[in-house]
Amino acid sequence: MPELPEVEITRRGFASRIAGARIEGLRLGQPLRWPLGIVADELVGRTVVQVRRRGKYLLLDLDQGVLLVHLGMSGRLRFDTMLPPPGRHDHADLQTTQGTLRLHDPRRFGALVWAAAADAGMAGKLLSTLGVEPLEPGFQPESFYQALGRRSAAIKQVLLAGDCVVGVGNIYACEALFQAGIRPTVRAARLSRPRVARLHAAIRDVLQQAIARGGSTLRDFAGVTGELGYFQLDAAVYGREGLPCKRCGTPIRKTAQGARSSYFCPCCQRF
């Protein structure tokens, strides 16, 4: 489900409301992708200082340690003082003095991981391989060009790999490549400086537009209070196979790369 915009929308929906809260308990449902890494009861009494985002991870900074949350493909968070009894797919309830943070995740590709510090243990391992944040000043055309120059894989797959730049998933990779006029199958290292500069700008633009629209609700994404996203209505190519390109009218094509679908306009993205 969630790429950077959806994770950021989720973060904004509860960060200020949970800040300063004291943890009163943690109820766990079925196992998620990784074990929590601590006995749930040991979290009781700790305070949530702030909520940050790194790539598609949310980091709950506690007064002692950090809780890392990933939404996987189907994860969704709620935060409220009154929640219904946990259902079949509600796999974690972090109860605090200011409300309960509930992780709902039917496919269970998501995770809740504790670490003594953001660079320690499993959390440290997960975070250490991440690329540059696309919406922060460290994301620059020249360094992006240099990074892509070392990769011979298809540009779409390099974007999804998340080691050059983070947060770009299947929807926004397709959209950014369309906006930059680049075919998803081009090998990353073959892109010229000007084209990488276009892609750099397109990634930032697409992600910012998506955040402004509340993310994309394809089937079940919603923010922490249930609000839906609307970016999918603006999508130029994603999910539009056979429909006319919004720019030139040519039917959008769909192709497989790895196990993922790529959508592109064969006319606007010639090479």
Interface with DNA (CB under 7 A): 1-3, 6, 30, 33, 55-57, 70, 72-74, 88-89, 106-109, 125-126, 129, 150-154, 157-158, 160, 162, 169-171, 188, 215-221, 229, 258-261
Residue 88: DSSP 8-state = T
In angstroms, give the least distance from the CB of 219 to DNA.
3
Q: Give the span between the Cα atoms of 6 and 18, in whole angstroms.
A: 18
Q: Which of 53, 56, 78, 198 is catalytic?
A: 56
Closer CB to DNA, residue 138 or residue 258? 258
In angstroms, give the least distance from the CB of 211 to DNA.
13
Give φ, ψ of 189 to 5 degrees. Answer: -70, -10
Q: Which of 3, 6, 8, 175 is catalytic?
A: 3
Give φ, ψ of 92 to 5 degrees. Answer: -155, 135
Closer CB to DNA, residue 5 or residue 99? 5
- By the 10 Å C-beta count (0-12 exposed, 13-18 middle, 19+ buried), 129 is classed as exposed
Active site annotation includes 53: no
Residue 222: DSSP 8-state = -
Closer CB to DNA, residue 188 or residue 206? 188
In angstroms, give the least distance from the CB of 251 to DNA.
17
Closer CB to DNA, residue 19 or residue 122? 122
Closer CB to DNA, residue 47 or residue 255? 255
Yes or no: say if 79 and 18 are a contact pair by the CB < 8 Å rule: yes
Active site annotation includes 42: no
Cβ neighbours around 109 below 10 Å, total: 15
**Could you give the 3-state DSSP secondary structure of residue 19?**
coil
Q: Which of 22, 151, 254, 260 is catalytic?
A: 260
Q: Give the span between the Cα atoms of 251 and 244, in whole angstroms.
A: 4
In angstroms, give the least distance from the CB of 173 to DNA.
8
Buried b (16+ CB within 10 A) or exposed e, 11-41: bebbbebbeebebeebebbeebeeebbbebe
Q: Which of 2, 5, 134, 184 is catalytic?
A: 2
In angstroms, give the least distance from the CB of 150 to DNA.
5
Enzyme catalytic residues = 2-3, 56, 260
